Amino acid sequence: MVHPEPGGRAPYGIMRGMRISARADYAVRAALQLAAAREAGPLKAEAIATAQDIPHKFLEGILNDMRRGGLVHSRRGGNGGYRLAKPAEEISIADVIRVVDGPLVSVRGVRPPELSYTGPAESLLPLWIALRANVRQILDGVSLADVASAELPDPVSALTEDPASWANP
């Protein structure tokens, strides 16, 4: 078990608040652009960057990570570009985020099952595990095709109908 160090900062995770990194946001948007253009053939990085207002150089690194992670294929040349490696229905939002950012939920860079707390904080670990399970359930349950077609699964749509979901306390 890993014991978190006081004052540490994680590159992502729940201790800094639930945040979607720019890298994850850009990756999902790029994947959605590819999903929408599936029948049109490969898209050049420049076209994706322009369509989604993503810095081109930053996008190149993201697309390389997505290629290494098996989410996209790339081809060089005049008719080259990027395309999804499998149908958009088979790629979850969680798949994309994991490829570019790692685990969906961490506490100070550590996965919740690897943590150990003592005393009154012992019961905090199950809370982090429950949070991780809920984030996974939502992001694993939504495909690129769902978002690209603006047809989110009913449980996700139901969450967005609560006005409190849109508030920032």
Angle at 58 between CA 90 and CA 67, to 5 degrees: 35
The pTM score is: 0.83
In the structure, what pLDDT confidence band is assigned to residue 12 with cuts at 50, 70 and 90? very low
pLDDT in tens, 59-90: 999 999 999 999 999 998 878 899 999 999 99
CATH topology of domain 19-166: Arc Repressor Mutant, subunit A (1.10.10)
- Residue 109, judged by CB atoms within 10 A of its CB (0-12, 13-18, 19+), counts as middle
Domain boundaries, the chain: 19-166
Question: In this structure, what DSSP letter does residue 74 have?
Answer: E
Number of alpha carbons in the 13 Å side-chain half-sphere of residue 113: 3
Q: What is the mean pLDDT of the chain?
A: 87
Are 123 and 103 spatial neighbours (Cβ–Cβ below 8 Å)? Answer: no
pLDDT in tens, 110-160: 777 888 889 999 988 888 889 889 999 999 999 999 999 999 999 999 988
